[in-house]
Amino acid sequence: MKPLTTLTGFLLDRFDEDEAATLTMVCECVDDPGPGCPARVLAECEAKRRIIEQVSDVGWGGYAVRDVILELLALPYVEDQDFDPAWAL
């Protein structure tokens, strides 16, 4: 398995890509912030970054939980060319 720092970097790069793609989208979501709403996607990217920050500080006993959380966050990117199959649960 690649080091978790590689997985963390992979995830942060994907979140940056998601955020950039969302910022170029045009949609109306004033009354209905649905799945395609840029504001919701941007908030989701930020929330995922915060999750990574929190689990990065996990102490010795929580490494298994941290690994699972990071691998779960990576699953939506399984088709990405940089995705390591070792990250799939």
**Domain limits of the chain?**
4-82
* Residue type present at position 19: E
Q: What is the pLDDT of residue 29?
A: 54
Global confidence as pTM = 0.70
Residue-wise pLDDT for 68-88, tens only, equals 899 999 999 999 999 999 988
| Residues 34-56, mean pLDDT to the nearest whole number | 84
State yes or no: pLDDT of 47 exceeds 90: yes
Cβ neighbors of 44 (< 8 A, separation 6 or more) are 18
Q: What is the pLDDT of residue 46?
A: 93
Q: What is the pLDDT of residue 70?
A: 92
More confident residue, 89 or 49: 49
